[in-house]
C-alpha cells in the first residue's frame, strides 16, 4: 500500500493567480489582481509599525478588538464574526465544516475559481450552474439544488463579471433554498457596490446564510491576508472549532483594525474608484469594446473573439500593463482590467486606442 491523498484532492486544478511580472521590465503597471492602486492606509502602516516590538508575544486567539471594530463600523454583532487568513480561509472553513464525500457544492458558471477547489478538497462534488448574460441566475441555481446540496457559493458582485444580483433576487434565493443548504454570499467587492450591505441583512434573517468580506480590496491590504465572515451564531461556532487558534498574526490583526476604522481612507478610495470605473467603462465602449456596468473595482472588457483579446493583451503588455486573462472563468474573449489611478486608466485607454485606431 502506498501513500494516497484523500478522495478529491487530485481532482483539483491548481489555482492560477493574476500575473505580476513582465520579463525584462521593472516598471510594470499591475492591473491584474484588483488591488487598491492607492496602497495600504497610512493609518494601518503606522499601527503595524508600532506593534513590531511586541512580536515575541503570541497574538490574541479570540481576535476580539478586530471583531469589535468590524462590528462597530458595519453595525454587526461581533460575536457572530470569524476572522480568517483572507476571506479565502473563511470560505475554506465553510467547505470543510459543511461539505464532504457524497455532498454537492454549487457555484455559478463565472464564480470565483476557488470554490470548486474547496469542494474537492473537502471530498465533495462541485456543481457549476449557468449564469444568464453574465449575471447570476437564481432559477438556474434553484433548479439544480437537490438533497445532496450542502453549500451554494455566490460571488456578489461577481468576479470577473463585475455584475451584481439585485437585492430582491438575492432575497428570493435565500428564502427559496432548503434549510439544509448553506448560502455563502462572497462579498469581496461589496464595498464598491453603492448602498449594498454585502448580504448582512439576509444573514440576520436566515439561519443558513453567511457573508464573507475581505481587507484585500478597498482596504488595500491584500498582502496582509485578512478576511472575515458574518453568520448565524451556530454557524460561526462551528467554523471557530476548525480555525487554528493562532491563524492571524499580531500584525494582521492590528493593521486590519486600524484600516476598518479609517473611514476617510475608504471613502476617498471608493470615490476615486467610482470615477475611474466610469471613465474606463466609457472609454472602452467608445473604442467599441463591450463591457457591462461594473459594481466592483475592475471592468471586464469583452473583445470580438479570443484572438482580439490575445492581441489587446499583447499590446498592453508591450506598454508594460498587466491585465487578467479570464479564459478559465468562461471568457476567452475577455480581459479583466482593475481600475487604477486616473493616469493608469488613461494609459490603458491610450494603449488600446492606438491598437484599434484605423
Ligand atoms: C470573489 C472573491 N472572493 C474571495 C477572494 C479572496 O480574497 P482574500 O482571500 O484576499 O480575502 C477574492 C480575491 O480576489 C475574490 O475575487
CB contact at 8 A, 228 and 81: yes
Torsion of CA 263, 264, 270, 271, to 10 degrees: 150
- Ligand 1 centroid distance, CA of 104 (Å): 22
DSSP single-letter state for residue 111 = S
Closest atom of ligand 1 relative to the 33 alpha carbon: 14
* Candidate from 160, 193, 216, 255 with most ligand 1 atoms within 8 A of CB, to mutate: 216
Instruction: Report which protein residue has its CA nearest ligand 1's atom 13.
Output: 188
Q: Strand 29-30 relative to strand 81-84: parallel, antiparallel, unpaired? A: unpaired
Give every CB contact of residue 13 below 8 A, 6+ residues apart in sequence.
Answer: 117
Is pLDDT of 358 > 50? Answer: no
Position 356 scores a pLDDT of 61
- Residue having the nearest C-alpha atom to atom 7 of ligand 1: 87
- Segment 90-101, tens digit of pLDDT: 999 999 999 999
- Sequence ranges of the domains in the chain: 9-39+264-356, 42-262
CA–CA separation, 79 and 64 (whole Å) = 9
Residue 357, pLDDT above cutoff 70: no
| Alpha-carbon gap, residue 157 to 320, rounded angstroms | 29
For the stretch 119-174, pLDDT in tens is: 999 999 999 999 999 999 999 999 999 999 999 999 999 999 999 999 999 999 99
Q: What class has domain 9-39+264-356?
A: alpha beta
User: How far is the centre of ligand 1, averaged over its atoms, from the C-alpha of 185 (Å)?
Assistant: 12
pLDDT tens digits, 43-52: 999 999 999 9
Q: What percent of the chain has pLDDT over 70?
A: 99
User: To test the ligand 1 pocket, which listed residue (214, 228, 295, 298) has its Cβ within 8 A of the most ligand atoms?
Assistant: 214
Model confidence at 13, pLDDT cuts 50, 70, 90, reads: confident
pLDDT band at 25 (very low <50, low <70, confident <90, very high): confident
Sign of CA dihedral 49, 32, 261, 198: negative
More confident residue, 13 or 253: 253
* Nearest-angstrom CA–CA distance, 66 and 48: 13
Ligand 1, atom nearest to 213 Cα: 11
Top-tier CATH class for 42-262? alpha beta
At residue 27, the pLDDT reads 87
More confidently predicted of 208 and 2: 208
| Structure confidence by residue, pLDDT tens digits, 280-320 | 999 999 999 999 999 999 999 999 999 999 999 999 999 99
Length of the chain: 358
For all residues of the chain together, what is the average pLDDT? 96
Amino acid at each position: 500500500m502506498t501513500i494516497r491523498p484523500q478522495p478529491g484532492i487530485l481532482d483539483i486544478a491548481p489555482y492560477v493567480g493574476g500575473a505580476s511580472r513582465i520579463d525584462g521590465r521593472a516598471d510594470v503597471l499591475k492591473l491584474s489582481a484588483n488591488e487598491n492602486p492607492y496602497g495600504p492606509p497610512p493609518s494601518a502602516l503606522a499601527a503595524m509599525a508600532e506593534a513590531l516590538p511586541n512580536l515575541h508575544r503570541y497574538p490574541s486567539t479570540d481576535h476580539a478588538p478586530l471583531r469589535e471594530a468590524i462590528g462597530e463600523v458595519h453595525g454587526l454583532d461581533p460575536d457572530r464574526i470569524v476572522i480568517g487568513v483572507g476571506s479565502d480561509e473563511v470560505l475554506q472553513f465553510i467547505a470543510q465544516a459543511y461539505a464532504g464525500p457524497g455532498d454537492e457544492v454549487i457555484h455559478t458558471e463565472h464564480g470565483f475559481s476557488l470554490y470548486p477547489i474547496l469542494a474537492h478538497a473537502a471530498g465533495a462534488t462541485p456543481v457549476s450552474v449557468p449564469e444568464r448574460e453574465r449575471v447570476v441566475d437564481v432559477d438556474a441555481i434553484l433548479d439544480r439544488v437537490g438533497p445532496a446540496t450542502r453549500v451554494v457559493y455566490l460571488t456578489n458582485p461577481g468576479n470577473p463579471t463585475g455584475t451584481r444580483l439585485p437585492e430582491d433576487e438575492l432575497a428570493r434565493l435565500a428564502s427559496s433554498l432548503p434549510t439544509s443548504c448553506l448560502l455563502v454570499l462572497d462579498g469581496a467587492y461589496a464595498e464598491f457596490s453603492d448602498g449594498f450591505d454585502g448580504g448582512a441583512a439576509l444573514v440576520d434573517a436566515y439561519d443558513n446564510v453567511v457573508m464573507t468580506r475581505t481587507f484585500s480590496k478597498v482596504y488595500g491590504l491584500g498582502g496582509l491576508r485578512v478576511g472575515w465572515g458574518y453568520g448565524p451564531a451556530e454557524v460561526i461556532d462551528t467554523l471557530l472549532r476548525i480555525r487554528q487558534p493562532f491563524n492571524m498574526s499580531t500584525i494582521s490583526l492590528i493593521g486590519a483594525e486600524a484600516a476598518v476604522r479609517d473611514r476617510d481612507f475608504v471613502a476617498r478610495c471608493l470615490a476615486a474608484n467610482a470615477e475611474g470605473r466610469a471613465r474606463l467603462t466609457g472609454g472602452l465602449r467608445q473604442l467599441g469594446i463591450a463591457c457591462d456596468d461594473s459594481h466592483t473595482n475592475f471592468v471586464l472588457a469583452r473583445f470580438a473573439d479570443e484572438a482580439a483579446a490575445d492581441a489587446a493583451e499583447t499590446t498592453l503588455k508591450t506598454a508594460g500593463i498587466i491585465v487578467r486573462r479570464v479564459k478559465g472563468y468562461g471568457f476567452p474573449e475577455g480581459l479583466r482590467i482593475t481600475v487604477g489611478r486616473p493616469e493608469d486608466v488613461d494609459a490603458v485607454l491610450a494603449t488600446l486606442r492606438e491598437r484599434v485606431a484605423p
